[in-house]
Amino acid sequence: MIRAPRVPTVVLTDADSRIDRAISEGVAMRGFHCVDPGHDRIEFTGADDEALFQNIKAHTTQAHPQLTDSQIREMIAGADWWKEVATSGVNAGSSPSAYDR
Protein backbone atom coordinates (compact mmCIF):
# COMPACT_ATOMS: atom_id res chain seq x y z
CA MET A 1 0.00 0.00 0.00
CA ILE A 2 1.26 3.45 -0.90
CA ARG A 3 0.40 6.24 1.51
CA ALA A 4 0.29 9.87 0.53
CA PRO A 5 0.60 12.50 3.26
CA ARG A 6 -2.70 14.00 4.42
CA VAL A 7 -4.74 11.68 2.21
CA PRO A 8 -7.16 9.48 4.17
CA THR A 9 -6.68 5.76 3.69
CA VAL A 10 -9.76 3.56 3.70
CA VAL A 11 -9.47 -0.16 4.31
CA LEU A 12 -12.56 -2.13 3.34
CA THR A 13 -13.32 -5.35 5.18
CA ASP A 14 -16.35 -7.57 5.57
CA ALA A 15 -17.06 -6.02 8.99
CA ASP A 16 -20.05 -4.05 7.69
CA SER A 17 -21.76 -7.17 6.39
CA ARG A 18 -21.24 -8.89 9.77
CA ILE A 19 -22.68 -5.87 11.57
CA ASP A 20 -25.65 -5.64 9.19
CA ARG A 21 -26.32 -9.36 9.64
CA ALA A 22 -26.12 -9.09 13.45
CA ILE A 23 -28.53 -6.15 13.48
CA SER A 24 -31.01 -7.94 11.22
CA GLU A 25 -30.80 -11.06 13.43
CA GLY A 26 -31.41 -9.01 16.58
CA VAL A 27 -27.97 -9.70 18.08
CA ALA A 28 -26.83 -7.17 20.70
CA MET A 29 -24.20 -4.75 19.45
CA ARG A 30 -21.79 -2.46 21.26
CA GLY A 31 -21.84 1.21 20.31
CA PHE A 32 -19.87 4.39 20.85
CA HIS A 33 -19.94 7.83 19.32
CA CYS A 34 -17.42 10.58 18.82
CA VAL A 35 -18.49 14.20 19.15
CA ASP A 36 -15.64 16.52 18.34
CA PRO A 37 -15.73 20.13 17.13
CA GLY A 38 -13.39 19.12 14.29
CA HIS A 39 -15.93 16.81 12.63
CA ASP A 40 -19.56 15.72 12.65
CA ARG A 41 -20.83 13.17 15.18
CA ILE A 42 -19.62 9.70 14.23
CA GLU A 43 -21.33 6.48 15.37
CA PHE A 44 -19.34 3.29 15.86
CA THR A 45 -20.66 -0.23 16.40
CA GLY A 46 -19.11 -3.62 16.99
CA ALA A 47 -20.25 -7.13 17.83
CA ASP A 48 -18.12 -6.96 20.98
CA ASP A 49 -15.63 -4.62 22.65
CA GLU A 50 -12.75 -5.81 20.45
CA ALA A 51 -14.66 -5.17 17.21
CA LEU A 52 -15.77 -1.82 18.60
CA PHE A 53 -12.17 -0.98 19.49
CA GLN A 54 -10.99 -1.77 15.96
CA ASN A 55 -13.66 0.49 14.42
CA ILE A 56 -12.82 3.36 16.77
CA LYS A 57 -9.08 2.84 16.22
CA ALA A 58 -9.52 3.24 12.45
CA HIS A 59 -11.07 6.67 13.12
CA THR A 60 -8.63 7.83 15.78
CA THR A 61 -5.62 6.97 13.63
CA GLN A 62 -6.66 9.76 11.27
CA ALA A 63 -8.71 12.17 13.39
CA HIS A 64 -7.20 11.81 16.88
CA PRO A 65 -3.67 10.39 16.54
CA GLN A 66 -2.75 11.52 20.06
CA LEU A 67 -5.00 8.82 21.57
CA THR A 68 -3.24 5.62 22.56
CA ASP A 69 -4.74 2.15 22.30
CA SER A 70 -5.02 1.96 26.09
CA GLN A 71 -6.82 5.32 26.20
CA ILE A 72 -9.32 4.09 23.60
CA ARG A 73 -9.93 0.91 25.61
CA GLU A 74 -10.37 3.01 28.78
CA MET A 75 -12.89 5.21 26.95
CA ILE A 76 -14.88 2.15 25.91
CA ALA A 77 -14.83 0.92 29.51
CA GLY A 78 -15.99 4.32 30.82
CA ALA A 79 -12.89 5.52 32.65
CA ASP A 80 -13.50 8.36 35.11
CA TRP A 81 -11.17 10.75 33.22
CA TRP A 82 -13.10 10.10 30.02
CA LYS A 83 -16.49 10.65 31.67
CA GLU A 84 -15.32 14.13 32.69
CA VAL A 85 -14.07 14.97 29.18
CA ALA A 86 -17.14 13.51 27.50
CA THR A 87 -19.65 15.48 29.55
CA SER A 88 -18.06 18.94 29.74
CA GLY A 89 -16.73 21.67 27.50
CA VAL A 90 -16.54 21.33 23.72
CA ASN A 91 -16.88 17.54 23.87
CA ALA A 92 -20.12 17.51 25.87
CA GLY A 93 -22.33 14.86 24.36
CA SER A 94 -19.58 12.35 23.61
CA SER A 95 -20.12 8.83 24.89
CA PRO A 96 -18.89 8.53 28.47
CA SER A 97 -18.56 4.81 27.69
CA ALA A 98 -19.64 2.20 25.22
CA TYR A 99 -23.30 1.31 25.21
CA ASP A 100 -25.35 -1.66 24.06
CA ARG A 101 -27.50 -1.15 21.00
DSSP notation for 25-86: TT---EEEEEEETTEEEEEEEESSHHHHHHHHHHHHHHH-TT--HHHHHHHHHT-HHHHHHH
Q: For 45, phi and psi rounded to 5 degrees?
A: -135, 160
**What is the pLDDT, as a whole number, of residue 87?**
83
**Could you tell me if residue 53 is inside a domain?**
yes
Please give the tally of structural domains in the chain: 1
Residue 52: domain span: 46-91
**What is the pLDDT, as a whole number, of residue 24?**
57
**Could you tell me if residue 33 is inside a domain?**
no
**Could you tell me if residue 41 is inside a domain?**
no
**Could you tell me if residue 60 is inside a domain?**
yes
Q: Is the pTM for the entire model greater than 0.85?
A: no
The amino acid that residue 91 corresponds to is N
**Could you tell me if residue 65 is inside a domain?**
yes
Which contacts of 73-77 are long-range, i.e. CB under 8 A and separated by 24 or more positions? 73/49, 75/32, 76/30, 76/32, 76/49, 76/52
Q: How would you write the pLDDT of the chain (101 residues) with one tens digit per residue?
A: 344 444 433 333 444 555 455 555 666 788 898 888 888 889 999 988 999 999 999 999 999 999 999 999 999 988 888 888 888 888 788 888 887 76
**Could you tell me if residue 36 is inside a domain?**
no
**Could you tell me if residue 8 is inside a domain?**
no
